[in-house]
Amino acid sequence: MKRSYSTITFAALTAILLSGMVARAVPEPAPAPSDPARVARGKYLVSIMGCHDCHTPLKLGPRGPEPDMDRALTGHPEQLTMPPAPELPPEVVMGTRERYLQAYRKLTGKELNLG
């Protein structure tokens, strides 16, 4: 009895495998770009994978900066002028530099010449 179960299981798995290979060998026609199911799937993937984090500009909402969905996925607004980077005290710059050099030495076993 056990033997026939494993024979049936083997036959079933082989059939599944072969049907998958046949399905892959026959190319599917390209879906229409406006296929609503694919558009919805793309929207879902974009929302769960954080694409808006970098590709949607922020606006100031009642609770602080929030994605401006009127400009969803439009990227960085070219006209936006950022304030200059703040001046850092020299000890902070040198400390960061030293820690970077230490990490480089530790990770690579080499010295990094920053000039």
Residues 6+ apart with CB under 8 A from 114: 97, 101
Shortest Å distance, C-beta 2 to ligand HEC: 49
Structure tokens given for 93: 């710059």
Size of the residue set binding ligand HEC (CB under 6 A):
7
39 binds ligand HEC (CB under 6 A): no
DSSP state of 57: -
78 binds ligand HEC (CB under 6 A): no
5-13, 29-37, 51-59, 89-97 -> range binding ligand HEC (CB under 6 A): 51-59
Q: Using a CB cutoff of 8 Å and minimum separation of 24, what contacts does 88-91 make?
A: none
71 binds ligand HEC (CB under 6 A): no
Q: Where are the beta strands (DSSP E) in 1-115?
A: 58-61, 64-67
Interface residue with ligand HEC, options 54, 80, 85, 114 (CB under 6 A): 54
